[in-house]
Structure 1
Amino acid sequence: MKRLTKWRLIPLLSVLALVLSGCGEPFISTLQPAGEVAEKQYNLMLLSTAIMVGVIVVVVLIFLLVILKFRRKDDRIPKQVEGNHKLEIIWTTIPIILLLILAVPTVAATFNLGDVDEMDKKDSDALVVNVRANLYWWEFEYPNEKIVTGQELVVPTDEKVYFNLKASDVKHAFWIPAAGGKMDTNTDNVNKFWLEFDSKKAEEAKNLFYGKCAELCGPSHALMDFKVKTVSRAEFDNWVKDMQSVTEPKQATTASAQQGQEIYNQSCIGCHAVTPANTTPEAARLAPNLTNFGDRTTIAGILDYNEENLKNWIKNPESIKPGNKMTGAYGELTDQELDALTEYLMSLKIQ
């Protein structure tokens, strides 16, 4: 009886899992598409699901019909249909038709979503972002605008944004669930694709989406997140101008922040840049660009932006993201030095 009671939980847990799988916030759910790519992928998913459910329903109905209507009542052998040409044609043709119904829009969408010719034109006005995945953070370079940032991607709505994807260490995968994806980032080749963010859907999500690494890459794979800020084209142009206006590291305005800047220059500047200009060789960019760190909404891609979390991250990053490359870099800072460095970093704003 105890075993039977345990088995009864399986249907309940299955139904619960099915219900929970449909839950999700608009900034991270694939079931709430926020752009053209996500919409097409979502429609293909609905089409394939409808075909599968339709096949299951027909098979179950035939199965029940056979059981109820043709159950054995005597010892007579029923009429055999083996080799019946009509039946053979029917159950061969129907799957082919179903496959064509699914294959034609799938292939068409694949070619459409893979069309990146516009980004390769010399005089193109297309917005291009070079994405570089690292253990366990993301770098976003806007080559035409000559700026580099990290951890938070800023994109305009209602236009195609083209991406060059690569990795600097191991294989990762770039994925913004609500916008579409995913695509691998490799160390030996560059993958290309495009996304588009719908302004109305973005407004519903408060112009904020989450991106994730979708390829197991190490102990902190699940923590390799990034934010996507969607803005209008005018706001994006202003953001670019603000970033481009930062030509030198921002100077501290208080005595404590000045001490923090000195600590930064002695310990952090070897890995973290505080100017967005694309002058540092790609191989030398060892950590996220901090030019606009004070304008961010997260720390390390996963923590709420506040002083306490920043101090905890600087003091013991291994406890937050195991296996990260910053572990052990700042363990000898005193509380006063940690306060000063925190103040300086949070003052790095462009707005």
Structure 2
Amino acid sequence: MKNSWTKTKFIMLMSVLTMFLAGCGENHLSTLKPAGEVGRQQFNLMVISIVIMILVIVVVTVAFSIAVFKSRRSQLGEDFKPKQVAGNHTLEVIWTSIPIVLLIILAIPTVYFTFQQGDTTEMVNAKGEANEDVTIINVTAHQYWWEFEYEHEGVVTSQDLVVPTGEKVFFNLKGADVKHSFWIPAAGGKLDTNVDGVNSFFLVFDDDKAQDADRLFYGKCAELCGPSHALMDFKVNALEKDDYEQWLADMKQIEEPIQADAGDAKEGQDIFNNSCIGCHAVTPTGAGAVGPNLTNFGDRELVAGILEHNKENLVDWIKDPESIKPGNKMTGKYQLNDEEIEKVAEYLMTLKVDEGTGDKSKLRESKDEEGGDK
């Protein structure tokens, strides 16, 4: 009996600690540390909701406690009968009106911000075409990786999303296979990606908050989409406008695949071109490929979204992707021997476009992160 009570107390203690720890977060992934206009508005709505709920709980708890204290049998006697209030119109009006008022207080800012955040009219100019004066990124969600196509620049990336700070960034969202959900916790969101339609919205990234987070934020799939749903993330590199423009310029200069110099990397490129190229593009215009675009793979933060970015982990991923990310579509695609895999990995690690866009050391040191496909 004593052991059972000890276990019960331990479980209760851990449950309470879990509730408190659920509110903990870091600059790059917490909704409680908003990093942009949309995130702040949504955070303020959460605060309003919590304040209203706390107010209701306090009022009900106080009223209940007073009623229990004053209605003690020892004080009022065995034969005491409380006053009957059924049918009291005044009380009915009061306890009906108060919830209505609270709902109105919550509904007004919620409806206002919902319509404001859903306003994407700036994406289209007077001719009904995509507005070239704003940043528009077409997002395609795959099992279990993300593709990003920059509308006006013709640049395509995978897994690492690069955005400018201090301005609205518009997103067109769609799913390639099943329903997913695009979410960057620190910036705001989330919105579903559907196979049979396109959803659009915008986010704003504060430059100061981006610096606090070493210019890296987490993005996640927030819709259960298969066995590796929890491993489907992406990274967001939020750059100052000038750095963002420079990154785009560097990407657009790559018209042909980056050529390996010599040695194992050169042999790896030849092997890649005779096998992996059937699914993966290595130029920034390769939209709609079966697998992720690998143009700047050497600049990535993680391998397969969950492994530290190094050659050894890349070899393990190519050799047995199913053991790392169950249900991925790369499993069984390429029949390469160990020597060929080593050389392909050597080649992929050389695919670097720009190593100077932001401090990425923080997340690169993390070895237990969850994320998306290669």
TM-score (norm 2): 0.89
CA distance in 1 between counterparts of 2:197 and 2:114 reads: 20
Q: Counterpart of 1:203?
A: 211
User: Is the contact between residue 132 and residue 152 of structure 2 (CA under 8 Å) also seen in structure 1?
Assistant: no
3-state SS in 1 of match to 2:274: helix
Query: Could you say what the CA RMSD is over the residues aligned between the two structures, in angstroms?
Result: 1.4
What are the equivalent positions in structure 2 for 1:249-264 lying under 5 Å apart? 249-264=257-272
User: Is the contact between residue 174 and residue 214 of structure 1 (CA under 8 Å) also seen in structure 2?
Assistant: yes
CA distance in 1 between counterparts of 2:322 and 2:173 reads: 27
Asked if residue 216 in structure 1 is aligned to residue 224 in structure 2, the reply is yes
Q: Counterpart of 1:87?
A: 91
User: Is the contact between residue 276 and residue 334 of structure 2 (CA under 8 Å) also seen in structure 1?
Assistant: no
CA distance in 1 between counterparts of 2:294 and 2:7 reads: 53
Tell which deviates more after alignment, 320-329 or 103-112: 320-329
Q: Counterpart of 1:342?
A: 345
Q: Counterpart of 2:360?
A: none
What are the equivalent positions in structure 2 for 1:291-330 lying under 5 Å apart? 291-330=295-334
User: Is the contact between residue 273 and residue 291 of structure 1 (CA under 8 Å) also seen in structure 2?
Assistant: yes
3-state SS in 2 of match to 1:154: strand
TM superposition shift of 1:124:
4.3
Cα deviation code 1:192-215 (max 9, x no counterpart) = 111111111111110001111111
TM superposition shift of 1:292:
0.9
Asked if residue 118 in structure 1 is aligned to residue 119 in structure 2, the reply is no
TM superposition shift of 1:152:
0.4
Q: Counterpart of 1:272?
A: 280
What are the equivalent positions in structure 2 for 1:154-169 lying under 5 Å apart? 154-169=162-177
Q: Counterpart of 1:131?
A: 139
User: Is the contact between residue 210 and residue 228 of structure 1 (CA under 8 Å) also seen in structure 2?
Assistant: yes
Q: For 1:347, give the aligned amino acid.
A: T
CA distance in 2 between counterparts of 1:301 and 1:116 reads: 31
Cα deviation code 1:97-133 (max 9, x no counterpart) = 1001101000001001101111122344110000000
What are the equivalent positions in structure 2 for 1:40-59 lying under 5 Å apart? 40-59=41-60
TM superposition shift of 1:25:
1.6
TM superposition shift of 1:135:
0.9
Asked if residue 9 in structure 1 is aligned to residue 10 in structure 2, the reply is yes
2:254 to 246, 260, 270: 246
Q: For 2:210, give the aligned amino acid.
A: A
CA distance in 2 between counterparts of 1:67 and 1:331 reads: 74
User: Is the contact between residue 215 and residue 237 of structure 2 (CA under 8 Å) also seen in structure 1?
Assistant: yes
Q: Counterpart of 1:182?
A: 190
Q: Counterpart of 2:362?
A: none
CA distance in 1 between counterparts of 2:175 and 2:29 reads: 23
Q: For 1:316, give the aligned amino acid.
A: D
TM superposition shift of 1:10:
4.0
Tell which deviates more after alignment, 319-328 or 75-84: 75-84
Cα deviation code 1:148-192 (max 9, x no counterpart) = 110100001111110000011111111111111111111001111
3-state SS in 1 of match to 2:277: coil
CA distance in 1 between counterparts of 2:135 and 2:176 reads: 22
Cα deviation code 1:217-264 (max 9, x no counterpart) = 111111111111010000000000000000011111013211111101
Q: Counterpart of 1:153?
A: 161
CA distance in 1 between counterparts of 2:335 and 2:318 reads: 8
Cα deviation code 1:34-78 (max 9, x no counterpart) = 111111111111110111111011001000111111334231423
Q: For 2:226, give the aligned amino acid.
A: G
CA distance in 2 between counterparts of 1:61 and 1:326 reads: 60
* Structure 1: gaps of 5 or more residues: none
Q: Which runs of 4+ in 1 moved over 6 A?
A: none
3-state SS in 2 of match to 1:8: helix
TM superposition shift of 1:92:
1.0
Number of equivalences: 346
Asked if residue 38 in structure 1 is aligned to residue 46 in structure 2, the reply is no
Q: For 1:268, give the aligned amino acid.
A: C
User: Is the contact between residue 140 and residue 148 of structure 1 (CA under 8 Å) also seen in structure 2?
Assistant: yes
**What fraction of aligned residue pairs are identical, expressed as a percent?**
59
3-state SS in 1 of match to 2:173: strand
CA distance in 1 between counterparts of 2:174 and 2:208 reads: 30
CA distance in 2 between counterparts of 1:7 and 1:108 reads: 46
TM-score (norm 1): 0.95
* Structure 2: gaps of 5 or more residues: 355-374
Q: Counterpart of 2:70?
A: 69
3-state SS in 2 of match to 1:158: coil
